Chain A
Amino acid sequence: MTFINYAAREINCKIVFYGPGLCGKTTNLQWIYDKTNPQAKGKLISLATETDRTLFFDFLPLDLGTVKGFKTRFHLYTVPGQVFYDASRKLILKGVDGVVYVADSQEARMDSNIESLQNLEKNLKEQGYDLNNIPYVLQFNKRDLPTALPVEEMYRQLNYKGEPTFEAVAMNGTGVFDTLKAVAKLVLTELKKK
């Protein structure tokens, strides 16, 4: 749910990074946090287990500057990818404006990718959204690994609706900002239609 505050001339959008456990969602946010200048970002909040797995969410507020005189603020969230945290994932999807799906390129993780994508589709539906209409981009992460599947194969299995798709190595930032930029653009373009 976009929050447009005419009085304060502010617009707030919520973007959720989704994907299976260990695919690199938190790493995407950490990279964005590390590479954004201090005035433009707030604290990165990570509600994580002792082993650094996301327990509830990561949260990073980003001020991107102004569009048409409105301060544009993006709230980035990651979900916990582990299957048994489904209840938490549903909560985080509430009010979402755009989704980044982070897929793990390793061959052994393909089944988890597909399962998690189906889970996204189902959880969105439960919240009254449709993956077909929501601003959505796909990221193939961990392209650096020797076990990574060919991009064409990943696309064949994971493409949902011809969404913008990016190759990434979140650990060193490759593709991270391209992904963010693409989803931000889709979200802002969506506002235009309202």
Chain B
Amino acid sequence: MADLVMYEEEYEQIKEILARLQSDSNSKIVFLVDKNGQQIAAHGDMQGVDATSLASLTAGNVAATDGLAKLIGEKEFSILFHEGERDNIHISLVAQRVILVVIFDERSSLGLVRLRVKKASQELEKTFEVIVTKAAAEQSREGRFESPFAEITDEDIDSLFSE
């Protein structure tokens, strides 16, 4: 799979979509993770939430469930839902490569979350199409895509471990 490269414009779009989803669905947190567990963007009350762990465990969860789906001959389970005493978590796949997580409590409902997630997913899918197209265009362009790491030196790398 190609590396995921995110530029300002699409990033802003994604953040907007997440913000709208959070308010439309009356949920606490909306969170977007790539399938490898790297957080892309989030919206809502993230205080007291370990975002990195949340991202990694969500991806692990989806990966394991994907494995289960294949075992029984399904392509994928597109939605996961975990119900807690207070909070619930709704996990769905977008554009086959990113994971949309919604955490909500009794101020919302599964039905409402489902409805809003569906709409937001469609918008996100469009944005990700653009991202993929852009990345492909950059790759094939004559001068090729100018990586900020093209000039990385041994010293740069060593300095990362200096402490």
Q: Are these two chains actual partners, yes or no?
A: yes
- Interface SS of chain B: mixed
A160 CB-CB contact with B under 8 Å: no
How far apart are the CA atoms of A2 and B66 in the complex, in Å?
Answer: 21
How far apart are the CA atoms of A188 and B2 in the complex, in Å?
Answer: 16
A76 to B: closest C-beta gap in Å? 11
> Do residues A188 and B36 form an inter-chain contact, with CB atoms below 8 A?
no
> Do residues B50 and A42 form an inter-chain contact, with CB atoms below 8 A?
yes
- Chain B residues 34 to 77 lying within 8 A of chain A, measured CB to CB, are 34-38, 40, 50, 52-53, 56-57, 60, 63-64, 66-67
Task: Work out how many contacts link A and B, with CB atoms closer than 8 A.
Answer: 126
> Do residues B161 and A192 form an inter-chain contact, with CB atoms below 8 A?
no
B85 CB-CB contact with A under 8 Å: no
Per-position contact with B for A128-142: 1 when CB-CB < 8 Å, else 0?
100000000000000
Interface residues on B, range: 35 or more
Interface stretch (choices B21-29, B101-109, B112-120, B142-150): B142-150
> Do residues B6 and A75 form an inter-chain contact, with CB atoms below 8 A?
no
> Do residues B149 and A91 form an inter-chain contact, with CB atoms below 8 A?
no
- Interface SS of chain A: mixed
One of B1, B8, B35, B50 near A43 (C-beta < 8 A): B50
> Do residues A4 and B156 form an inter-chain contact, with CB atoms below 8 A?
no
> Do residues A91 and B152 form an inter-chain contact, with CB atoms below 8 A?
no
> Do residues B152 and A2 form an inter-chain contact, with CB atoms below 8 A?
no
> Do residues B35 and A95 form an inter-chain contact, with CB atoms below 8 A?
yes
One of A12, A42, A67 near B156 (C-beta < 8 A): A67
A56 CB-CB contact with B under 8 Å: yes
Given contacts A6-B7, A7-B6, contact A188 B149 (CB under 8 A): yes
How far apart are the CA atoms of A64 and B159 in the complex, in Å?
Answer: 9
Given contacts A61-B56, A91-B63, A95-B35, contact A70 B11 (CB under 8 A): no
A101 CB-CB contact with B under 8 Å: no
B123 to A: closest C-beta gap in Å? 18
> Do residues A184 and B160 form an inter-chain contact, with CB atoms below 8 A?
yes
A36 to B: closest C-beta gap in Å? 9
> Do residues A75 and B56 form an inter-chain contact, with CB atoms below 8 A?
yes
> Do residues A3 and B52 form an inter-chain contact, with CB atoms below 8 A?
no
A143 to B: closest C-beta gap in Å? 22
> Do residues B157 and A194 form an inter-chain contact, with CB atoms below 8 A?
no
16 examples of A-B residue contacts, CB within 8 angstroms: A1-B2, A3-B36, A6-B5, A7-B6, A7-B8, A45-B53, A59-B53, A59-B56, A59-B60, A67-B160, A75-B37, A91-B60, A95-B35, A177-B161, A184-B160, A194-B145
Q: Which residues of A contact B (CB under 8 A)?
A: 1-8, 11-12, 14, 37, 40, 42-43, 45, 47, 56-57, 59, 61, 64-65, 67-70, 72, 75, 87-88, 90-92, 94-95, 128, 177, 181, 184-185, 188-189, 191-192, 194
